[in-house]
Chains A and B, each alone.
Chain A
Amino acid sequence: MKIIEIKNLHKIYNSDSVAVHAVNGIDVSFEEGEFTAIVGPSGSGKTTLLNIIGGLDDATEGSVEIEGIKINELSARKLTDFRMKNIGFVFQAYNLIPVLTAKENVEFIMHLQGRNKADREARTSELLKAVGLGEMMDRRPSKLSGGQQQRVAVARALASKPKFVLADEPTANLDSHSTENLLDIMEQLNKEEKITFIFSTHDQRVVNKARRVITIEDGKIISDISK
């Protein structure tokens, strides 16, 4: 079942009066349960594409439909709400809230969703155990390694039971052991919870794990291979 459908997507940045076509007419769709890597050189438009899919940036032209909802037509308030309920984000720099513990970081989105305490605690515990941090729930990000922080970020991304997770270069700051570990966790969650993962990456290890690889260059898809 299609959960994301992108049609004729364009994103033009006007930097110093020179128009930069970051995304140049992309048409692509994603099925439920996919484990997809978007690859390409720096500046090819991977992050911009991910940002537009996640409703973090506006498209200049074209549409992004998520389960039939055109997100570029939603008001700012509804779009924020939509992101909270439907999309999980994993960022390159982890971006955890430094003043909250691992547990509180994961609970954070559930707080925003207004879920009850018991529900929150059960889900948090389940997720942190799933990413191997069951013993480190009460540590703040500054007391965790980069790999551990990124695992908390994955747990946070999954806390709201999103329809899909967008991960922008999630392994860029991790060593190889942490990368393997993180990818295994995400692959396992993908298989067990049927969560769709879409990565933008340079990392060959992520590409190797992905079941679909989309290559972008100059804002255009130049190949789309399902393994």
Chain B
Amino acid sequence: MNTNIKLAWRNLWRNRRRTFIAISSIVFSVLLASWMRSMQEGSYDSMIENSVKFYSGYLQVQDTAFWNERTLDNSFSASNELKESISQIPDVTLVVNRIESFALAANHLKSKPAMVMGIEPEAEDQITKISQKVKKGSFLKTGDKGAILGEGLAKYLGLDVGDTLVMISQGYHGISASGLFVIKGLLSHPNQEFNNRMVYLDIEAARDFYSASGLSTSLVVMAHDHYEVKHIKKAIERVLPAGNRVMTWTEMQPDLEQLIESDRGSGKIMLGILYMVIAFGMFSVVLMMVKERSREFGVVHAVGMQKSKLSTIVFFETIFIGLIGCSVGVLISYLFCTYFYFHPIPMSGKMAEAYEQYGMEPFLYFSLKASLFYSQMILVFLLSVFISVFPMYNIQRLKITKAMRN
């Protein structure tokens, strides 16, 4: 075996230029494939992160009936013990209470249906960065009695910072709810629906308004990233009292997951085409290698080397090319993608505007998920193993006299 490996290794370097071209083609292929996948997955990560930070969070704990019937009557008592035990789960970064309902927002002349969200201001700001959207006035603080309005709603009602907002609604279990709230700030939300209908209150003010003391409609759970969601969900389910459920972002936003999956599918088709190009490149090099050396193959077989041993040597050569190409390719790809991970590509023009409109940052992000890199490495390596079948087949069909006439 040692002799086979030694011969294969030396054969590799007898035509350095050819080997360099073969290895380079693999390196660039791995680089291109990794870069493509990294950008794809980075964009998905960014899309998911933007989306969950926009509203839903990675997970939500709710009353089992709330998702289908979003009324205050389906709120639940999120005890400090529950919140604490969820916070203790590894990879959970934040647990925040919300109470959501509707109300009729009015001034002395007009009214409009509004979405009311009672939040824990400081914690909520860590999720949605809502304070950065406040364009006038200031953001809420814990214990505030005032309200933050979407600019669209404020404009419709002709209200400004310092004015009083009137809200009428139905509270917990049918209790009538009415209240006056001084407008603390106006925010410009990238989502027009939110901009035209949103009213933010401190959670305690909202609970008072809806007579829903100690109740929440959801407990939003944040993690470092979406890869941790599955195990967090399982852990939450273990501590959850009866009557509650935990939903992941994929359950709350199935359309986003479908969008990503379909895009991932088309990306895989592109990758398939790329792999075919790689395979043909490698095949042509191997073909050259075999044709160039058919005389030598004839000689070594003539002097007594079995075809199986000869095949093994050529197999090792192809494997070496694949291994070197893949290893160097993965190393360069990782360095390359690391640069883009820390320096995402900024978008411009209409594309950037569209991204911003949906509350997403107009950048092309990259992922450094290890599996992206080693999967390319494994695939290209398997490709080289597959291609090595050709020279082995050629050797099995070798005719000494014909080979030596070449």
Contact = CB atoms under 8 A, between A and B. Distances in A.
Interface stretch (B149-157, B279-287, B299-307, B323-331): B299-307
A91 B306 contact: no
Nearest to B10: A99
Interface of B: 3, 7, 10-11, 13-14, 295-296, 299-307, 309, 400-401, 404
A57 B302 contact: no
B contact patch SS: helix
A81 interface: yes
A51 B401 contact: yes
Contact of B14 (A57, A95, A99, A111): A99
A97 interface: yes
A54 interface: yes
Given A98-B14, A99-B14, A156 B303 contact: yes
Most chain A Cβ neighbours within 10 Å, of B3, B14, B304, B309: B304
27 contacts: A51-B400, A54-B302, A56-B302, A56-B400, A56-B401, A57-B401, A76-B307, A80-B301, A80-B304, A80-B305, A81-B306, A83-B304, A84-B305, A85-B304, A89-B303, A91-B404, A95-B296, A97-B299, A97-B300, A98-B296, A99-B7, A99-B11, A99-B14, A108-B303, A109-B304, A112-B304, A112-B305
B251 to A, nearest CB: 61
A77 interface: yes
Contacts of B7: 97, 99-100
Contacts of A84: 303-305
Nearest to A48: B401
Given A81-B306, A85-B304, A99-B13, 9 more contacts: A57-B400, A57-B401, A80-B304, A84-B303, A84-B305, A91-B299, A109-B304, A111-B3, A112-B305
Contacts of A51: 400-401
Contacts of A95: 295-296, 299, 404
A160 interface: yes
Contacts of A85: 304
A111 B303 CA distance: 12
A81 B296 contact: no
Interface string A88-114: 010100010111100000001101110
Interface of A: 51, 54, 56-57, 76-77, 80-81, 83-85, 89, 91, 95, 97-100, 108-109, 111-113, 156, 160
A89 B306 CA distance: 16
Contact of A80 (B295, B306, B401): B306
A113 B10 CA distance: 21
A213 B116 CA distance: 112
Contact of A109 (B10, B14, B303, B306): B303
Contacts of A77: 306
A76 B301 CA distance: 11
A83 B10 contact: no
Nearest to A51: B401
Contacts of B14: 98-99
A27 to B, nearest CB: 22
Nearest to B301: A80
Nearest to A159: B303
Nearest to A157: B303
Contacts of B302: 54, 56, 83, 89
